[in-house]
């Protein structure tokens, strides 16, 4: 008589496109960005720092996905919603926080604030406050890489509102003419401040903006870190092969307003909740828990680790000194003894 064999039900790991280590890093990195931005919002309301403040909450898959797909020597330039990009590239969040506070220990020495995060060592070529100004600058950086004979690419990020700037078309033409290693990335969160894409253009598929220049392009699900990584990797390979620039319309969504003063009356709660149902962090966490890589205690441990780093960043910013008055005259001209007129 055959003896029944007792089997223990175990969750069989399904085939995934990426490793456990990558999913775990994506989760922790995106969680860091989310908690950092939530803290920034709270601190701003407490008037700990001023000026404009544009939060990245909801768009974390774009930053995490691009960072995992590029090489350390590739260059990155973006607009003013720029807190997450340097963190994705490996900057300690405390230097971003100190910059928000306008402290001398900030990544831009306290001179840039929320919209101007720079780090030469990480090849973070800045956040830029003038809408669309970074687009031709990104092409210039890509030109320098080609001129110097490297295989590096430049990722130029812009919003769906910035694509209405005339400089974009001049840049696209030159980039194609010179076959520049440039990846132009539209972080398409569907609203230029409070104006929807549908109200600003007859062509709502923004990936088509490069067609008249024969520029390679694609649309990307910006709520999926895997899709973003795949698209950036494909575009970078194309550029490194000397084929010219690539345009990505990465369709994402911001949960908060354009800036801290935005009442968000231009969209419905149903629309917002629909996108929250596709939250990029929850998507990755779902994969991690389904694979049995983290249990509740493991999740709590990562949350605590992230919180400790955010708390450290706030304390660092609070306790750092303001820039000395003499700093008004530095980092302006390359000539160190420039003859300023002083009373």
Q: Within 10 Å of residue 211's Cβ, how many Cβ atoms? A: 12
Pick the CATH number of 20-324 from 3.40.980.10, 3.30.70.270, 3.40.50.970, 1.20.20.10: 3.40.50.970
3-state SS class at 3: coil
* 258-294 residue pLDDT tens: 999 889 999 999 999 999 999 999 999 999 999 999 9
CA atoms within 13 A on the CB side of 251: 12
**Residue 342: CB partners within 8 Å, gap ≥ 6?**
none
pLDDT in tens, 301-315: 999 999 999 999 999
pLDDT tens readout for residues 6-39:
333 334 445 899 999 999 999 999 999 999 999 9
For residue 5, what pLDDT is reported?
A: 32
Q: Look at residue 189 in the predicted model and tell me its pLDDT.
A: 94
Domain boundaries, the chain: 20-324
Banded model confidence at residue 343, pLDDT cuts 50, 70, 90: low
Nearest to 213 by CA among 187, 177, 161: 177
pLDDT digits (tens, 9 = 90+) for 85-104: 999 999 999 999 999 999 99
Per-residue confidence (pLDDT) for residue 12, from 0 to 100: 41
């Amino acid at each position: 008589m055959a003896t029944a064999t007792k089997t223990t039900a175990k969750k069989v790991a399904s085939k995934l496109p990426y490793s456990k280590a990558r999913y775990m890093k994506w989760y922790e990195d995106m969680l860091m960005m989310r908690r950092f931005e939530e803290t920034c919002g709270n601190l701003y309301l407490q008037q700990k720092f001023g000026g404009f403040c544009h939060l990245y909450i909801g768009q974390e898959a774009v930053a995490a996905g691009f960072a995992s797909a590029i090489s350390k020597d590739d260059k990155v330039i973006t607009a003013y919603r720029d807190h997450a990009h340097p963190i994705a590239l490996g900057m300690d969040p405390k230097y971003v926080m100190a910059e928000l506070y306008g402290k001398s220990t900030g990544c831009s020495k306290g001179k840039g604030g929320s919209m101007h995060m720079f780090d030469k060592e990480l090849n973070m070529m800045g956040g830029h406050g003038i809408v669309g100004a970074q687009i031709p600058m990104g092409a210039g950086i890509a030109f320098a890489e080609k001129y110097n004979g490297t295989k590096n690419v430049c990722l130029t990020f812009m919003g769906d509102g910035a694509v209405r700037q005339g400089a974009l078309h001049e840049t696209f033409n030159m980039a194609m003419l010179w076959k520049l290693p440039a990846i132009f990335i539209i972080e398409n969160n569907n609203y230029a401040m409070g104006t929807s894409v549908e109200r600003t253009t007859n062509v709502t598929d923004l990936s088509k903006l490069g067609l008249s220049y024969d520029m390679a392009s694609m649309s990307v699900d910006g709520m999926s870190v895997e899709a973003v990584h795949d698209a950036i990797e494909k575009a970078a390979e194309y550029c490194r092969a000397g084929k010219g620039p690539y345009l990505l319309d990465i369709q994402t969504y911001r949960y908060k307003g354009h800036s801290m003063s935005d009442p968000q009356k231009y969209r419905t709660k149903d629309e917002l909740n629909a996108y929250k149902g596709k939250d990029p962090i929850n998507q990755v966490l779902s994969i991690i828990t389904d694979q049995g890589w983290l249990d509740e205690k493991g999740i709590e441990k990562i949350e605590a680790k992230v919180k400790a780093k955010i708390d450290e960043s706030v304390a660092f910013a609070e306790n750092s000194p303001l820039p000395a008055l003499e700093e008004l005259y530095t980092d302006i001209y390359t000539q160190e003894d420039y003859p300023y007129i002083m009373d």
